[in-house]
A and B are shown apart, each in its own frame.
Chain A
Amino acid sequence: MKNDTIAAISTAVANSGIGIVRISGERAIAVADKVYRSKSQKKKLVDQPSHTVHYGYIQDDNEVIDEVLVTLMRAPKSYTTEDVVEISCHGGIYSMRRVLDAVIRNGARPAEPGEFTKRAFLNGRIDLSQAEAVIDVINAKNQYALKSSLSQLKGSVYKKITELRKKILSQLAFIEAALDDPEHISLDGYAKSLEQEIKRLADQIRELINSSDNGRILKEGIQTVILGKPNAGKSSILNTLLKEERAIVTDVAGTTRDVLEETISFDGMLLNLVDTAGIRNTEDIVEKIGIGKAKEKAKQADLVIYVADSSTEVDENDREIINVLKEKKGIVLLNKSDLPQVTSEEDLKEYLGGFFPVLTVSAKEKIGFDQLKRQIYEMFYSGEINFNDEIYITNARQKAALTEAENSLERVLLSIENNMPEDFYSIDLMDAYTSLGEIIGEAVGEDLINEIFGKFCMGK
């Protein structure tokens, strides 16, 4: 229905190196021109013919984000029949996200799930026989969105947004109650206190927005430390995850003397994997330094993967690791499921006190790694993994909604500054409330009316 300009990363978000950010709508080319810079710095996309490809850079605030190829397709000869610009990025997920970000900041709106396809259909581009398929796409994507929003319900983002909304709603209800029943409720002196509250709320929203700009999680990835007693298979696990042999793996306990760091990416997440020296009581100086570093790294980690050896007994070393683990978010891998079992999942859970998920894997046979990835994914998107209790906004739509909310609150402040009457505040407050609701998938409905009646004794 909306014919505004939309944008999204339209290739699967993976570390495949190349990905496409697609923009569609009346202002697609204008938006692209705002972020695109040709090598000569003179070329304007708007002057270029349809169906041409252009080499250049995407820049944001004069900083080059990525080296790209831009494909131009003018209406009606495009997938959506609208003007379409496709930016092929080369710098991996992080730069793709930044390109999308820049595009959105310059006038595009994040696309809804399936929206390109929906537009293509509604504009008559796709024929009748494909209509059902379109509906399925919308449905599937919505279910996916629902699922990820549901998993966020448990998360800290949800909590934070709900808290912000509650505060906005309470202000709204007060204003509206006073407007509805001016003989009962006075707004004298209210603007001052509202101003303070709005400033506080706007700050908090800005923090959330910044979390996505500066989020270590996107730039640097989830700092993941692999712990385990010597020869439990930490390096094999790491290698399986890396799918190539970079760390030195031997059968002699204590081969990994220092700390190794590698980065992998899956399902849109970056994982910084740190392999450490096995923890065991040792007199070997070199190894001792390695172990100290391992403990130190673990303390700074966002996520600890503890590799236990199912072919040996739980010993002093394991207990020491469990002590380190108790302060952290962690996943326990019971490795070597290919060997005869000495320690079972149940045995381990007893030691762990039930706080951590335990997965049985075999690095040698490459068994259990899909579950491991899913576990990490869920922990991340449910907000279980976070940095020092900061909250992270992870997708462009959430960010756009937050920016909308922030703008609305800024307008409230402007109205207050301009001495506008109080009913003007509530218009922008309601917009902010609505925008924040979009993040957690909640509509306004009767919220305000209920809040008014719940909090204020109304009526004669």
Chain B
Amino acid sequence: MSYKLVKRMFCSSTIKKPPRQVCIVGAGPAGFYAAMHLTKNLDSVNIDFIEKLPVPFGLIRYGVAPDHPEVKNVINQFTKVARHANVNFYGNVTLGKDIQLHQLRQHYDAVLLTYGAEEDKVLGIENEDAGNVIAARSFVGWYNGLPSDKDLKIDLSCKTAAILGQGNVALDVARILLSPIDELRKTDITEHAVSALAKSKVKEVYLVGRRGPLQVAFTIKELREQLKLKNCSTIWRKKDFEHVEDVVPNLERPRKRLTELMLKSLNESGKSVDDLNSNYFKPIFFRSPKKFIVDSNHKVTGVELTCNKLVGEKLEDQKCIPTHEQEILNCNLVFRSIGYKSIKADNDIMFLNGLVPSNKGVVDDSNPDLAKLYVSGWLGTGPVGVILHTMGNSFQVAKVMCEHLTGADTKIKGGFQEIKKIISVNNNNFVDWDGWEKIDKYEIEQGKKLGKPREKICSIQKMIEVSRA
């Protein structure tokens, strides 16, 4: 009889319980914030991240604009979490393909879905498939090095571009199009994007909103940055701001300050001197795209817009309705930036209105034979809010998980030891945290040669190679 067994027989009360096995699907901010809370608040837990890409950090790496390196500092906090002995990363493993949800729920004590919202919403209007009508999400993926977007077809040889939507993604797209190229060269923007943008002829970017200045979705920081952009003038349409000034005093502070900044810019825009080399940023309001106008090659040449008006007494209850007026906006490049949507990664995932419905993050605890299922981040809340909101939501869900996991005893689960057997039937190429650190180091070295903080690897095959070097 081994010593361990004897010890277990006689001192069972002092023996440490085997760690609770938690699987987090998606290694973006939602997943990392949940892991942060779980590692801090559970005595004995093992956390396995399963991530579709070989690399971690999700939208911090592939969403945050390259000229916002400060926002990416949060990677340092996430890296600390990942380096915990009881946290593991398994990249290049896809839920619904390499592994099924019910298998995860069989071999873990809890499964948390945090795989976000990776697709863009479509308008569903005529000629949306025309050439040079680009999903803002793909453009962002293209300049940020997302492997699936590296070959994006985009023609930047025209003068005028229109962005449909007025959120922060729309402003990121505008800023990248209008920024002096030498500013971008210093960032970790991909080389393929820099060389294309260096040849760009785009000088005028419209930002088209369905509703009015009081309903814009972008935040003040992003607007302030755009207004200060070198060599770029902002032109508003005075008519869009009728009566806006009157309601400013009654607005809550965030909306008030944002509106005041727009009004200040509107009042200053007359003073700016026209410069032949200047770029133009032109937000327009109360316009919904009705259809794309195309040439004989099915390439976009303009957008037909329906003019809208707001109805309703109280400002906060106002609704936007179409009028009979139409307007044509001539442009040879259009970005669709009306939001992201989640995908149903596995057949067993319940989906409602584009997200996974839950009760405070608990998706399903009805089957005693399977692990409880949770959701946090954009997959559970919808694709809105900044990182602070994702953080709060993930902490909240992780807190509920902690309560459940500290509860009654359950059977010992195999965790990744079991999952690995299933995955390796089709995929022997998962990338662990050491592998990511090799990729990270390689990218920083490649960046150094180009005078930038990092040059991302844009091929999954190459990532796997480097991770094994």
Do A and B assemble together?
A: no
